[in-house]
Amino acid sequence: MAHEVYWMKPNRVLYANYKGYHDEETIRACLDDMATELDKVDEPVFVLINWLEVTGHDPAALIKHQKHRAYGHPMAARAVLVGMGAQAQMENQVSATRAREIVHTVYFDTMEEALHYLEFVLADDPNPQ
């Protein structure tokens, strides 16, 4: 399987893990699965996207999906993307910005950095007294 999508924390953090080589079709399949999960929530969530297991991708494959509803989905509050190289980041950012007209993606090199960024969301009690 070229990807997996599941709730890391139900109704708070959606996790998408891309694996192997990606082309236009495999990227669309993952975006479709993300959008399907985002359709199930009533409040905006974080989307943690793991690109660390990607071995490569077709040039401009991400830009070809700039109108995909996952990029502009109202329930995707912020995308947290891990392990994406500079060229892929640029392609992803173009697609996301064209869909939303704002920047809502943050990029990290390691999963440790991303999880640190999300620790307040992943905590059992995000508002401790």
The CATH number that applies at residue 73 is 3.30.750.24
CB 54 within 8 A of CB 47: no
Query: Is 90 exceeded by the pLDDT of residue 97?
Result: no
pLDDT in tens, 21-54: 999 999 999 999 999 999 999 999 999 999 999 9
User: Structural domain tally of the chain?
Assistant: 1
Sheet bearing 76-82, strands edge to edge: 3-9, 13-22, 45-57, 76-82, 105-108
Show the domain range for 14: 3-122
26 in any annotated domain: yes
* pTM reported for the whole predicted model: 0.87
